[in-house]
Amino acid sequence: MSRPPFPPFIAETAVQKTRMAEDAWNSRDPEKVSLAYTPDSVWRNRGEFLTGREAIVAFLTRKWEKELDYRLIKEVWAHDGNRIAVRFAYEWHDDSGTWFRSYGNENWEFDDAGLMVRRIASINDRPITKAERKFHWALGRRPDDHPSLSDLDL
């Protein structure tokens, strides 16, 4: 299995790879998302350490059961060879209706087939009011004309 674009990444392909990841995560489909990773992919997500697609699916299932109405924007920070660094923000609410904006950075490493072998994520959550929300598109893929993180001054 392969997942273009392939490393080494240039600016254009790093942006393309990042948008593909954003689109997959905004689908909130753990199985679909897991296919972008190698079968033995290694993750650090906050303080949780995962290995393999089965663990990724279980993690994402738990995540999206808790983080309701999840909407995510990712943006390339840097790229070199087979690595891409991104920053991101996502908005969600819990089952009590409290809204959050989660901010973070991810470091990604890819194999030659374009699958991610390593994902290291650092994330912070900030409660926000409903009026502070900035991500208002219908659930699913962010519209192409929606402002980026930079445009939103995030």
What mean pLDDT is predicted for residues 55-63? 98
The reported pLDDT for the residue numbered 85 is 99
Q: Name residues whose C-beta falls within 8 Å of residue 69's C-beta, 6 or more positions apart in sequence.
A: 91, 92, 93, 139
- CA 130 vs CA 29, 64, 73, 119, 139: distances in Å: 25, 19, 18, 31, 16
- CA 71 vs CA 6, 25, 147: distances in Å: 26, 9, 13
Residue 8 binned pLDDT confidence (cut-offs 50, 70, 90) = very high
H/E element, 83: strand 83-93
Domain covering 11-132, topology: Nuclear Transport Factor 2; Chain: A, (3.10.450)
> Is the Cβ–Cβ distance between 91 and 135 less than 8 Å?
yes
**Beta bridge partners of residue 42, listed in sequence order:** 51, 118
The reported pLDDT for the residue numbered 71 is 98
How far, in whole angstroms, is CA 37 from its chain's centroid? 12
Quick: pLDDT tens for 63-93.
999 999 999 999 999 999 999 999 999 999 9
The reported pLDDT for the residue numbered 29 is 98
Residue 4 neighbours by CB distance under 10 Å: 10
Query: Does the predicted TM-score (pTM) go above 0.95?
Result: yes
Residue 136 neighbours by CB distance under 10 Å: 8
Quick: pLDDT tens for 85-142.
999 999 999 999 999 999 999 999 999 999 999 999 999 999 999 999 999 999 999 9
Tokens of 153: 């001054």
What mean pLDDT is predicted for residues 23-37? 98
Residue reference for tokens 């920053």: 87
What mean pLDDT is predicted for residues 36-52? 98
The reported pLDDT for the residue numbered 30 is 98
Residue 87 neighbours by CB distance under 10 Å: 18
